Amino acid sequence: MAQKVLIVDDQKGIRKLLEELFKKEGLDVMVAADGREAISMVEGYVPDIILMDVKMPNMNGLEAAQEILRINQNIPIVMMTAYGETEVVKKALEIGVKKYITKPFDIVVVRDMVKEILG
Ligand SMILES: [Mg+2]
């Protein structure tokens, strides 16, 4: 069975870009546009990895990551942060987020990071 990735970002272009990238890698891809949507998805669909944006409406990525890790602490989460968000990165790692990547990112770097985490 294909490994599952959940992409969470309020920007449609980023969701599309990452969706295409991981589908090409043979992964099963799900997308969510904000933190609340991501949480409700995780309740029914357990992803093998989550790529999570920080700045989103309704619920931001940090709050969503915290809630998801409360539901299932084994899901690796990669935070997609903006340049200079050092406090966010610090907090994210404290709550158990596995890794972070700074936007704008090179898709090859994202792909390799995800592959490495998935093993
Ligand atoms: Mg955003």
Q: Please report the pLDDT score of residue 1 as a whole number.
A: 84
Q: Please report the pLDDT score of residue 71 as a whole number.
A: 93
Q: Please report the pLDDT score of residue 75 as a whole number.
A: 97
Q: Would residue 30 be called left, alpha or beta, if left means φ above 0 and alpha means ψ between -120 and 50 degrees?
A: beta
Mean pLDDT over all residues of the chain? 96
CATH architecture under which domain 4-118 falls: 3-Layer(aba) Sandwich (3.40)
Mean pLDDT for 80-104 is: 95
Q: Domain spans of the chain?
A: 4-118
Report residues near ion ligand 1: CB below 5 Å. Answer: 10, 53, 55-56
CA 86 centroid distance within chain = 18
DSSP letter string, 43-78: HH---SEEEEES--SSS-HHHHHHHHHHH-TTS-EE
pLDDT band of residue 12 (cuts 50, 70, 90) is: very high
Distance 112 CA to ligand 1 centre (A): 22
Q: Please report the pLDDT score of residue 44 as a whole number.
A: 85
Q: Are 45 and 3 in contact (CB under 8 A)?
A: no
Mean pLDDT for 17-27 is: 98
Distance 1 CA to ligand 1 centre (A): 31
Distance 115 CA to ligand 1 centre (A): 23
Distance 12 CA to ligand 1 centre (A): 10
Mean pLDDT for 60-86 is: 95
Distance 36 CA to ligand 1 centre (A): 14
